[in-house]
Amino acid sequence: MKRPYNELNIQEYEASVNNQIMSCLDPDNLKSFFLFAGAGSGKTRSLVQVLDQFKFHYGNSFRIQGRKVAVITYTNAARDEIERRLQYDPLFYVSTIHSFIWGIIKPFQIDIKKWLINSLSNNLQELSDKLQKGRTRDPEKLKAEISSKERRLEHVTNTNQFIYSPDGDNQRFNSINHSDVIKIGQQFLMENALMQKILKNKYPVLLIDESQDTSKYLIEALFEMQEKHKESFSLGLFGDTMQRIYSDGKHDLGSNLPDDWITPVKEINHRCPTRIIKLINKIREPVDNQDQVPGEYNNKGIVRMFLCPSDSNKELMEEEVARIMSELTKDGSWSCDASDYKTLILEHHMAANRLGFSDLFQTLYSVKGLQNGVLDGNLPELSLFTKRILPIIRSNILQDDYTVTKIVNKYSPLLDRKHFNNKENQVENLKLAKQGVQDLLSLWTNDKEPMIEEVIQSIYNSGLFTIPEKFKLLIEEEISQPDGKDNFSDELDAWKDFIKIPFSQIEAYDTYIKGDAKFETHQGVKGLEYPRIMVVIDDEESRGFMFSYEKLFGAKKKTATDLRNEAEGKDSSVERTRRLFYVTCSRAQESLAIVAYSNKSELIKTHLLEENWLDEDEIIIMS
């Protein structure tokens, strides 16, 4: 590893990177840039600093011209953080990609309608061909899908005003779903000259944080747009290909960049201790050999790997590891009493096992189209529970009637002013809403544990909240087809299983997904940092085929598919695992414990020593 930078060098170095970016943002000479750098190198910090400088130099003229700088973040949490750091200045429009895209396509209602009709018609044609040619194992299910699409087409044809909510369930007949918003955005950006003009006039500068995970179709569309409007549109990408953890991202982002793009380099890791920088450099080495360097002030830090038998009592084992870490680091926050460390599990269902929501997780995660939503906690169907029902139950426990009333006022269609014809009607509806809340809460009396289905049924009966179409369908089907025969698609089948799960699992899931539990997933910690990190690795428990630590650690041979993928330059489970491991280890600011459950401890140890990832005294074999 190169010598650490001293304080003065660091300031000069960082200033020169920021200056390179600033040189791209001169409104009279706009250029595009690509700032891809390793973990903890201060990409987000540079983004904020550069925008502060931008405000100073060009803020007034931008304001006078009614222009803004658009900043796209990967999550709502990241958006909130950047907005806060930019002091909520309206010069900057900070949003997630879905919100941003909806903002720019929304005025094009006629084109949206045409797009939807076209897309649905093509889709219907494909499905009908499939049915006619007998290319299905379940013709009844396919027929149901066709009728549902036909109904949707009819609604779309009769609609002139489409709506969309980036965080909502988009269940209304005139709503557009999340993936269609992205597809529409991509196509309009590529083909609609008027939209391009409006976009570049309003947002001549567009910056994207974590761009390695931004939808590849949109990134490609933005590249095309930038190519056409070089002088009047600056695209700035921040990210790190080594931290690409979602499949949506463009895997070769950064290769074949146009010659006139500026590509600043950031090689200092400001977050991790030197020992951890050395480890993550090793993890990264085979991919692009991008070595990071510490600053003079980075502390030394501690890394330990604990190799534990697969059949260990995991809870006890992880407590023991924390105890050892507490001794080694002399940091009481590792001790079980204080327990101020983050445990990173490979997949949500490992947290699900530990926190008690595994049925919920397994049921929904088994459907491809629901996976991302389950992982990021944004599954629209769940908002009925997480944004309305759970807050009511929690507030009721705290005897906080005010919040209960607030939630009902905000979300209940019974209290929607549009539906009040007269005062009597209003009083009647208030009574109904009150009764609806009582009926709902009565499901928990005498320590009862309602099933999700009972909760939905109660809401359905009282009309307290709007029920997502799928649940309504299930409840109605359940009534009309008590023998359980149905025409549901895979997704509806999953929702059907979901409603048979105890409601308490939603509560556990919600606590976890909000980050209130001490567990986080590898995916969930993207962009974050914590002083103490425990990475838990367990191929057997994680069960997926997406990741394999035993392969990454040399204890298991790569499969023929892995080798073929590697030979064809495609992603493989080993490389995906490597990137996740890089993300998790690089979150640690002080100390890192890696807990690996495997029955091949000796093999793993030998391999890691050979690869020089860890030293002998840093690997502890537990029994």
Ligand X SMILES: Nc1ncnc2c1ncn2[C@@H]1O[C@H](COP(=O)(O)OP(=O)(O)OP(=O)(O)O)[C@@H](O)[C@H]1O
Say how far apart CA 206 and CA 525 lie, in whole Å: 25
Query: Hey, how many other C-beta atoms are within 10 angstroms of the C-beta on 358?
Result: 19
Binding interface with ligand X (CB under 6 A): 10, 14, 39-45, 240, 243, 270-271, 527, 529, 586
41 known ligand binder? yes
HSE, CB side, 13 Å, CA atoms: give it for residue 603: 14
| Residue 405 known to bind ligand | no
**Residue 209 has which token pair?**
């944080």
94 burial level (CB within 10 Å; 0-12, 13-18, 19+): buried
Would you say 83 or 111 has its CB closer to ligand X? Answer: 83
Residues in the chain: 623
Instruction: Tell the smallest beta-carbon distance from residue 39 to ligand X (Å).
Output: 3
For ligand X, give the closer residue by CB, 45 or 202.
Answer: 45
Sign of CA dihedral 224, 227, 228, 234: positive
**Sheet-wide strand order for 342-345:** 519-521, 342-345, 530-537, 588-597, 302-308, 619-621
CB of 37 to ligand X, least distance (A): 6
CB burial readout 57-67, b (16+ within 10 A) else e: ebbeebeeeeb
Q: 555 a known binding residue?
A: no
Cα gap 620→226, rounded to integer Å:
52
Query: Is position 44 annotated in a ligand binding site?
Result: yes
Beta strands in 512-617 (DSSP E): 519-521, 530-537, 588-597
Q: How far is the CB of 348 from ligand X (least distance, A)?
A: 20
Least spacing, CB of residue 96 vs ligand X, in Å: 17
52 or 454: CB nearest ligand X: 52
* Nearest CA among 579, 588, 38, 526 for reference residue 267: 38
Instruction: State which amino acid sits at residue 77.
Output: A
Is 134 annotated in a binding site? The answer is no
Position of minimal CB gap to ligand X: 42
Contact 201, 229 (CB under 8 A): no
DSSP letter, residue 380: G
Give the nearer residue to ligand X in terms of CB position, either 215 or 586.
Answer: 586
**Minimal distance, residue 14 CB to ligand X, in Å:** 4
DSSP, res 93 = E
In angstroms, give the least distance from the CB of 268 to ligand X: 7
Between 96 and 243, name the residue whose CB sits nearer to ligand X: 243
Find out whether 205 and 25 touch, Cβ atoms under 8 Å: yes
Of 43 and 250, CB closest to ligand X: 43
Amino acid, single-letter form, for residue 485: K
DSSP of 439-466, one letter per residue?
HHHHTTGGG---BHHHHHHHHHHHT-SP
Least Å from the CB of residue 609 to ligand X: 27
Specify the DSSP class assigned to residue 599: S
* Tokens read off for 259: 């010659």
d(CA 37, CA 292): 9
Closest approach of Cβ 619 to ligand X, in Å? 25
User: Which residue, 249 or 527, has its beta carbon nearer to ligand X?
Assistant: 527
Among 495, 542, 491, 539, CA closest to 368 = 491
Shortest distance, position 551 Cβ to ligand X, whole Å: 25
The burial of 446, by beta-carbon neighbours within 10 Å (0-12 exposed, 13-18 middle, 19 or more buried), is given as exposed
Nearer to ligand X, 30 or 51 (CB): 51
Is there a binding annotation on residue 343?
A: no
Task: Give the chain's end-to-end CA distance (angstroms, integer).
Answer: 34
CA angle 328, 334, 338 (to 5 degrees): 145
State the nearest-atom distance from the C-beta of 526 to ligand X, in Å: 7
Q: Which is nearer to ligand X, 145 or 240 (CB)?
A: 240
The least CB distance from residue 295 to ligand X, in Å, is 7
- Bridge partner residues of 502 (DSSP): 451
Tell me whether residue 44 or residue 148 sits nearer to ligand X (CB atom). Answer: 44
Say which residues have a Cβ less than 8 Å from residue 92's Cβ, sequence separation at least 6. 51, 68, 69, 70, 71, 83, 86
SS3 at position 137: coil
- Provide the minimum distance between the beta carbon of 408 and ligand X in the complex, in angstroms, as a whole number: 40
**3-state SS string for 164-229:** CCCCCCCCCCCECCHHHHHHHHHHHHHHCHHHHHHHHHHCCEEEECCHHHCCHHHHHHHHHHHHHC
Residue with Cβ nearer ligand X (439 or 529): 529
Q: What tokens were used for 137? A: 């194992």
Nearer to ligand X, 279 or 352 (CB): 279
CB closer to ligand X, 320 vs 529: 529
Closest contact distance (angstroms) between CB of 43 and ligand X is 4
In angstroms, the CA 575 to CA 548 distance is 9
Give the span between the Cα atoms of 140 and 154, in whole angstroms.
21
Specify binding-site residues for ATP. 37-44
Specify binding-site residues. 37-44
